[in-house]
Structure 1
Amino acid sequence: MQRYRDHRDAVDDLLRRFAPLEPVRVPAGEPIPGSYWGGPEAGLLGARIFLRDDTPVHSALHEAGHFVCMDAGRRLALDTDAGGEVAEEDAVCYLQVLMADQLGGISRDQLFADMDAWGYSFRLGNAQAWFERDAEEARDWLRRYGLIDRFGALTWRLRA
C-alpha cells in the first residue's frame, strides 16, 4: 500500500493545484479530522484535506477527487461526509486514477492494487478492469462538468 509518508511533497503539490484545497499534515497517532472512515483515511473539512503519514495515497486522492467533483455549495458546507450520487462517486474513482498518473513513483498498477485491497467495489471485479473497460459513464460525467478535456486529460479545475 502506497502511503502519504513516501510521497508527501508530490501529493501536497498535486492537491494544491486544486486551490483552494489545502493539505494539512496530522501528527502520528493523532485522530484525522474530517475522516469519514477514521484513521488512517484522509479527512475533509471545508477546503482542508487532512493527511497523516500512514494515510494511503489512494485515500488522499479519493477525498481530493470528492472536493473537485462536488459543486461549490457543497464545498462550502463540507464536513467529513462528501456525499454525492453514485455517478459522482464513479467520477471520483476515475479522477483519482488520473491524479495518480501525475505523481512520480506511483504506477497505475500500484494504485489499482491499493484500491482493490481497500475494498473498492466494481462490476467487473477490480479497479483496473473497471477503469479500462467500464468507466465510460464516469468519463462522460467528468467531461460534462469540465473536469477532464475531450482527450481525458485533467483540466485542473473545480466543478462550478
Structure 2
Amino acid sequence: MPVVAVSKALRDRLGDEGAEDLAKLLSSVEEAAREDTLVVVEERFARRLAETESRLNQRILETEARLDNRVTEEVAKLEVQIARVDSRITEEVAKLELQIARVDNRITEEVTKLRADMTAFKTEIIKWMFLFWIGQLAAVGGLLALLR
C-alpha cells in the first residue's frame, strides 16, 4: 500500500489528525479504485476469453464439419473404386471360367479321340496276333509234316 505524503502547508492547515484522515481517505479511495479497476479488467478478460472460446469452438465445429464431409466424399470415392474393381474381377473370373470350360471340353474330346485310337490300335494288334499265330501254326504244321 503506497504511503500518501501530505505537504507541510496542508498539514499545518488541516492539523495532524486531519492530514492523517485525508491520507487514509486518499488511500481508501485509491484502494477502492484499484479494486474497481481489477473487477473491470477481470470482467473484460472474462468476456474476451468467452468470445475467444466461442470463436475457437465455432472454428473447431466448422473444421470438424469440413473433415466429416471430406471423409464422406473419400469413402464414397473408395466405394465406387471398390465396385469397379469388383466388377472387373467378376468379369475376369467369368472369362477364366469360360476358358476353363473350353479347355475341359477340348481335353474331353482329345481323351475320346485317344481312346478311339487305342481301340483301333488294339484291334489291329489282335488281328496281327492272330495272323502271327496262324503263320506259326502253319510253320509248325509244315515242319511236322516234313518230319513225319
Normalised TM-score (structure 2): 0.14
- Higher helix proportion (structure 1 or 2): 2
- Higher strand proportion (structure 1 or 2): 1
Normalised TM-score (structure 1): 0.13
For the pair shown, the structure with the greater C-alpha radius of gyration is 2
